[in-house]
């Protein structure tokens, strides 16, 4: 109870509260069409967060780059663990004016084990990449929402 009163006193508002500036993004953001599997995962997650647009007022364009690095090597020189880093850049613009309302970069990493069968290694790679794309999408949404709210 005291926490709620303290937060209300400092001007705290939920990011998507009914009167927040970021709530204007809900159902109003047209996500850039994905060009590959990673972009599709990011776009799908962003649509989950912002909802499919009914009347697109904003356009969100993004690009994703990943890099795999072997980090676990046995004495026999077999790779047992990989580290994937990802970087996503984005811009959020007004559809009508083209004015950029927010832009930025999201970065993160994840890892997976390459031990076991070929099928399990492929599955582990896909799962790790999907986790990474979801992390990047969450960061994009958070960053874009806060910058959009600050610009209002």
Contacts of 18 (CB under 8 A, 6+ apart): none
Task: Express as a percent the part of the chain with pLDDT over 90.
Answer: 61
H-helix or E-strand containing 102?
strand 100-113
Distance, in Å, from the CA atom of 105 to the CA atom of 144, rounded to the nearest integer, reads: 10
H-helix or E-strand containing 88?
strand 79-94
From residue 4, give the alpha-carbon distance in Å to each of 11, 19, 20, 23.
11, 17, 17, 21
- The reported pTM is 0.83
| Number of domains present in the structure of the chain | 1
pLDDT tier for residue 7 given thresholds of 50, 70 and 90:
low
Residue 14 structure tokens: 């939920």
Name the range with the highest mean pLDDT among 44-48, 52-56, 79-83. Answer: 44-48
The residue range of the domain holding 137 is 2-151
CATH number of the domain that residue 76 is part of: 3.30.160.150
pLDDT digit string, tens, across residues 48-77 = 999 999 889 999 999 999 999 887 777 777
Distance, in Å, from the CA atom of 60 to the CA atom of 104, rounded to the nearest integer, reads: 11
């Amino acid at each position: 109870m005291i926490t709620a009163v303290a937060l209300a006193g400092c001007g705290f508002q939920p990011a998507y509260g009914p009167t927040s500036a970021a709530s204007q993004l809900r159902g109003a953001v047209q996500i850039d069409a994905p060009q590959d599997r990673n972009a599709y995962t990011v776009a799908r997650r962003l649509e989950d967060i912002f909802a499919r647009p009914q009347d697109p007022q904003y356009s969100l364009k993004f690009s994703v780059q990943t890099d795999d690095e072997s980090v676990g090597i046995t004495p026999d020189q077999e790779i047992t663990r990989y580290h994937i880093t990802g970087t996503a850049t984005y811009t959020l613009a007004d559809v009508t004016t083209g004015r950029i309302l927010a832009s930025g970069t999201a970065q993160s990493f994840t890892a997976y084990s390459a031990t076991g069968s070929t099928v399990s290694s492929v599955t582990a790679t896909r799962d790790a990449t999907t986790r990474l794309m979801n992390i990047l999408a969450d960061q994009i949404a958070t960053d874009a929402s806060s910058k959009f709210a600050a610009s209002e």
